[in-house]
Amino acid sequence: MIEHIVLFKWQDGTSPEAIAAVMAALQAMAGQIPGIVSLSCGTDFSGRSQGYSHGLVVRFADRAGLEAYQPHPVHQAIVVNQIKPIVADVLAMDYEFGGA
C-alpha cells in the first residue's frame, strides 16, 4: 500500500469559503479517480502543525495508483484552478507500507 500525505498552508487572507471548496473538491476525488483505495482530508485541531492548517491523506494499492493519480485531469484541475491560487506552501510525502 502507498500513503500519500499533503499538508497545506494557505495565503494570508484566504477566505474560509475558498478553503472549504478545496476540501470538498479533494474529498470528491475519491469517486472520480481510479486507484484510490481511501481518501480523507480535514482541518488541524492540535495547533502543532506549524501553520499547515489542512491535510489530505490518499491511500493507493500500489505505486502505479499513485503514478496514475498525479497527472489525472481531475487532480490537476483542482491543483491548478483551486489550490495554486490560494496556497502559500505545501508539504507532501509518500511512503509504502505492508498493511491494508
C-beta separation of 26 from 19 below 8 A: no
The rounded percent of the chain whose pLDDT value lies above 90 is 95
Strands 36-43 and 87-96: unpaired
* Architecture field, domain 2-95: 2-Layer Sandwich (3.30)
Q: Report how far residue 17's alpha carbon sits from residue 96's, in angstroms, rounded to the nearest whole number.
A: 34
Residue ranges of domains in the chain: 2-95
In the predicted model, what is the mean pLDDT of residues 11-24?
Answer: 98
Half-sphere exposure of 97 (CA within 13 A, CB side): 8
Tell me the whole-structure pTM to 2 decimals: 0.92
**What residue has cell string 509518500?**
94
Q: Cβ-count burial of 84 within 10 angstroms (0-12 exposed, 13-18 middle, 19+ buried)?
A: exposed
Taking only the tens place, the pLDDT of each residue in 68-81 is 999 999 999 999 99
Give the integer Cα–Cα distance in Å for 17 and 66: 29
Instruction: Answer whether residue 99 shows pLDDT above 70.
Output: no
